[in-house]
Chains A and B, each alone.
Chain A
Amino acid sequence: MTGMIKAPEGPKYARIMGVGCYRPSRVVTNEEICTRIDSTDEWIRERSGIVERRYAGENESVLDMASLAATQAIANAGIAPDQIGLVIVASITYPYLSPAAATQVAVRIGATGAAALDISSACAGFCYGISLASDSVRGGNTKYAVVIGADRLTDWFDHSDRTMAFLFADGSGAAVIGPSDVPAIGPTIWGSDGTQIDALGIAPSFLDQRRDPVNNVPMLYMQGQAVFRWAIGEMASAAQEALDAAGVTVDQLDAFIPHQANNRITDALIRALKIPDHVPVARDIVTMGNTSAASIPLAMSRMIDERQVQSGGTALIIGFGAGLAYAAQVIMLP
């Protein structure tokens, strides 16, 4: 006799309950960067807005940074680590293909036994994770999830490449997602354009490296202008769609927290979206550089810590990068 399958049932809404972050202690100034590339502090500031960034210590791993941010987010959410049922790590710099970083983070943070997976959506990874975690909570497959963006990009670019050495850095940020009585995470507007594989990524493959370990070391590559064009052209539309889907206007925003890719991209998005002057805009890149999947939760943590935003406020978040993948949501700040 065929059995009747019981489907999971979850709460109607999910929310971000708390965020956390980890900023490595080593500050790297533009002056130090310019000892390795032919550039100037002025050029770097004009092109990116970056004044300094943080580099992880030699033995400070993606797992270390991810676990510290997650632990802080769980404490801020006011729950116990063993209540976490799902751990998602967004990273493109965890140097193992298997097992997933999330399995190790789960153990370190005291969420042993939690479901655990990594997502490789690069700078869009955190917003992808928010979508997956929110849907898992609302679908009834987990009560509390932690989404962590953690990247140690300094292992993966050529420090003498003047187009990248000033831009990328290390860090982590995390958010705990749980049930909510009110709508607190709007619809996710997401997508990708895989035809632009040449614009941004890490290559060659690990198999290529095995064949020629000297010449085939996998490293970040980037066509800055192609990424910039895509970001300021397409991301304004995606962000606007996320606002429309959530039923929120730019005037009603309490914060705009785009991926901290480059202040010039942020400036262009502000102009295109017509974000009013009274809306605080994340500028964490100035002191953190571009930290890929970590940049949005890092920036959000700063805005909360510095009281630029209030709990319950409405923020537009959008991640975009290699893929070219993107995801945007309107969220209620914890």
Chain B
Amino acid sequence: MSEDILAGLAAIVNEVAGVPAEDVQLDKSFVDDLDVDSLSMVEVVMACEDKWGVKIPDSEVKNLKTVGDAVIYISAHV
């Protein structure tokens, strides 16, 4: 399940921010490692909401610092 979410998330980050999908790993920070800025992060979050039918409010977005944080959040709420 988590692996599917990681793969889906990698595809989204690739499409939104142009980051190579293989670089999107659990321990990577969106901002520091993948150079996904706050506006791109909003687009990533909205694409995740569409793909998995989860709600990720703005108040939660700031807690999603790493790819792993996002995978855990989506897994728990999907």
Chain A residue with minimal CB distance to B38? Answer: A225
Closest 5 CB pairs of A and B: A229-B42, A264-B39, A228-B42, A225-B42, A228-B39
Looking at chain B's contact residues, the main secondary structure is helix
Q: Check: B33 CB closer than 8 A to any chain A CB.
A: no
- Chain A residues with CB under 8 Å of chain B are 46-47, 223-226, 228-229, 232-233, 262, 264, 268
Q: How far is the CB of B11 from the nearest CB of chain A, in Å?
A: 15
Q: A47-B39, A224-B39, A268-B43 are in contact. List 4 more A-B contacts (CB 8 A).
A: A46-B37, A229-B58, A233-B46, A264-B39
Confirm or deny: B61 has a beta carbon within 8 angstroms of a beta carbon on chain A.
yes
Task: Tell me the smallest distance from the CB of B53 to a CB of chain A, in Å.
Answer: 15
Given A46-B37, A225-B38, residue A232 in contact with residue B61 (CB < 8 A): no
Main secondary structure of the interface of A (DSSP, over half): helix
Tell me the complex Cα distance, A262–B58, Å. Answer: 19
**In the complex, what residues of A have CB within 8 A of residue B42's CB?**
225, 228-229, 232
Chain A residues, CB < 8 A from B43: 232, 268
Within 8 Å CB of A223, what residues of B? 58
* Cross-interface CB contact of A226 among B37, B41, B58, cutoff 8 Å: B58
Q: How far is the CB of A324 from chain B (nearest CB, A)?
A: 14
Chain A: minimal CB distance from B47 (Å): 11
- Across the interface, do B46 and A225 meet the contact criterion of CB distance under 8 Å? no
